[in-house]
Amino acid sequence: MDALVNKRIKEVLKGDQNAFAEIVELFQDKLYRVCYRMLGNKHEAEDIAQEAFVRAFVNIHTFDTNRKFSTWLYRIGTNLCIDRIRKKKPDFSLDADVTGTDGLTMYSQVASTDDLPEEEVLKMEMQDRVQYEISRLPDKYRAVIVLKYLEDLPLQEISDILDMPLGTVKTRVHRGREALRKQLSNM
Amino acid sequence: MNMCPDYIVHYMHEYLDGEISPEHELELKAHLSSCASCQKHMHELSRVVAFVQSASHITAPIGFAEGVTARLPKEKSKVNMKRWFHSHPIVTAAALFMILMSASLFSSFNDDQQFSFTKQSNIVVEGEKVIVPLGETVFGDMVVKNGDIQIDGEVVGDVTVINGTQYMASTANVTGEIEEINQVFDWLWYKMKAGAKDVTSFLNGKEGK
């Protein structure tokens, strides 16, 4: 897989966009998933994940082929997500356009800062509830929890992606778990 | 739980990270079996992990990759052409052949401004003019480049003047064709005819001119 990716990267470096399209095919699900879990909104996730690929393409010459491409790509993606979360306007509305979200309720569109009344939360479908609880996590814990439990990445790789010491990653995973425990205490 | 040491919770997380040492694990297990509140804490943390991991695997929406391609900056035309060449090898070969051929023809027309002529024993050269003197007979074709030819005598063969003029005296006698070439296209046509002639004479097994 890595050999194939590096071959494609060399072609992209020569200016071949078709080779990059193959890289997108290989990594789109992973990156989109992380963005979706981080942002909790399909449209934003698609926008940010696509933007991450565009940035990867533009900056491909800075990628060190001795390292893992997915780590580099995740780093671009998570940084964009964190920026987006911080810039997010607080006036996010539940009535926001949810067309084309095929079957997802408005709860899956809820921004991280909006806490719902408990009775609403208890009525949620399981999948929406998972997304909702992840969205409620402070973003510094959210990133590590998403990468650890939804992408099954080793702690060392998470440390590379988020560019923080391994110890910090561990602490954030612990605190993230504790935060989720408190959030879920009513279940 | 209040009375329990902080490190017990820390051990729980070490356990969940799969990084607990055997000693810590023994200590944690011993404590959990004796402390209901820590047991509850541990159970809740395990449930959190299972809860988060139950999230379904979603995939990128349809048209995602096309969206990325649409947002990429325009690719270098160099690669576009390269791809086109790859998919049309015969056209490419033909085009390349034409380019090289025409280049060599044009360059031989433009660069070669030297006065030159077919060497014959009985002709006279004055400056840039070749004279076939009266009474002399030249056997064979005469080609004069970048100069004039004056024919007073007889030429048994063709006379070709490139970038020059031919002067014929009333006594002149040329058995073959007389041709004056001053334009690029005439030059090309001449080259092509010469090439064809070479090929046909080669095919006929004759010696080329």
Domains and CATH numbers, chain A: 1-88 (1.10.1740.10)
Tell me which chain B residue has its CA closest to the CA of residue A180.
Answer: B48
In degrees and rounded to multiples of 5, residue A64 shows phi and psi of -90, 110
Nearest-neighbour CA in chain B from A168: distance (Å):
14
Q: What is the rounded average pLDDT of the residues B148-172?
A: 82
Chain B contact for A186 (CB, 8 A cutoff): no
pLDDT tens digits, A34-83 = 999 999 889 999 999 999 999 999 999 899 888 899 999 999 999 999 99
Over 50: is that where the pLDDT of B1 sits?
Answer: no
**Contact assignment for B44 to A150 by CB distance below 8 Å:** no
Over 50: is that where the pLDDT of A93 sits?
Answer: no
Higher pLDDT, A91 or B90: B90
CB contacts of B45 in chain A (<8 Å) are 177-178, 181
Mean pLDDT for all residues in chain A: 83
Over 60: is that where the pLDDT of B103 sits?
Answer: yes
CA distances from B113 to A33, B118, B124 (A): 72, 15, 21
- pLDDT at residue A114, as a whole number: 57
Over 80: is that where the pLDDT of B111 sits?
Answer: no
pLDDT tens digits, B54-92 = 887 888 888 898 888 888 887 655 666 666 777 778 888
Chain B contact for A166 (CB, 8 A cutoff): no
Confidence at A96, pLDDT banded by 50, 70, 90: very low
Confidence at A90, pLDDT banded by 50, 70, 90: low
Over 70: is that where the pLDDT of A129 sits?
Answer: yes
> By the 8 A CB rule, do A115 and A133 touch?
no
Q: What is the rounded average pLDDT of the residues A11-19?
A: 85
- pLDDT at residue B192, as a whole number: 81
**Contact assignment for A174 to B44 by CB distance below 8 Å:** no
User: Domain residue spans in chain B?
Assistant: 6-53, 74-110, 116-203
In degrees and rounded to multiples of 5, residue B142 shows phi and psi of -115, 130
- pLDDT at residue A103, as a whole number: 47
Residues above pLDDT 70, as percent of chain A: 84
In degrees and rounded to multiples of 5, residue B162 shows phi and psi of -110, 125
Query: Which of A17, A50, A145 lies closest to B52 in CB terms?
Result: A145
CB contacts of A177 in chain B (<8 Å) are 13, 16, 45, 48-49
Q: What is the rounded average pLDDT of the residues A132-147?
A: 90
How far apart CA A9 and CA A4 sit, in angstroms, is: 9
**Contact assignment for B76 to A15 by CB distance below 8 Å:** yes
Over 80: is that where the pLDDT of A97 sits?
Answer: no
Length of chain B: 209
Q: What is the rounded average pLDDT of the residues A22-42?
A: 92
- pLDDT at residue A112, as a whole number: 44
**Contact assignment for B41 to A181 by CB distance below 8 Å:** yes
Q: Which residues pair with B130 in a beta bridge?
A: B125, B149
Query: Which of A21, A54, A127 lies closest to B55 in CB terms?
Result: A127
Q: What is the rounded average pLDDT of the residues B24-43?
A: 92
Q: What is the rounded average pLDDT of the residues B162-172?
A: 79
How far apart CA A157 and CA A178 sit, in angstroms, is: 22
Mutation for testing the B interface, residue in A16, A128, A142, A187 having most B CBs under 10 Å? A16
How many CB atoms within 10 Å of residue B160?
22
Least confident piece of the model among A73-82, A111-120, B165-174 = A111-120
Over 70: is that where the pLDDT of B39 sits?
Answer: yes
Over 80: is that where the pLDDT of A130 sits?
Answer: yes
CB contacts of A19 in chain B (<8 Å) are none
Least confident piece of the model among A3-17, A105-119, B57-71 = A105-119
> By the 8 A CB rule, do B158 and B177 touch?
yes
Least confident piece of the model among A10-14, A25-29, B106-110 = B106-110
**Contact assignment for A149 to B17 by CB distance below 8 Å:** no
Nearest-neighbour CA in chain A from B48: distance (Å):
6
CB contacts of A170 in chain B (<8 Å) are 13, 17
User: A 121-140 residues with CB below 8 A of B?
Assistant: 126-127, 130-131, 133-134
Q: Which residues contact B156 (CB under 8 A, 6 or more apart)?
A: B137, B138, B139, B140, B175, B176
> By the 8 A CB rule, do A118 and A186 touch?
yes
Chain B contact for A46 (CB, 8 A cutoff): yes
- In this structure, the dihedral spanned by the alpha carbons of residues B168, B172, B177 and B182, taken in order and rounded to 10 degrees, is -20
Over 60: is that where the pLDDT of A9 sits?
Answer: yes
Confidence at B208, pLDDT banded by 50, 70, 90: very low
- pLDDT at residue A36, as a whole number: 93
- pLDDT at residue A111, as a whole number: 47
DSSP-derived secondary structure letter, B165: -
- pLDDT at residue A162, as a whole number: 93
Q: Which residues pair with B9 in a beta bridge?
A: none
CB contacts of A46 in chain B (<8 Å) are 60-61, 64, 67
In degrees and rounded to multiples of 5, residue B27 shows phi and psi of -65, -45
Confidence at A120, pLDDT banded by 50, 70, 90: confident
Over 50: is that where the pLDDT of B8 sits?
Answer: yes
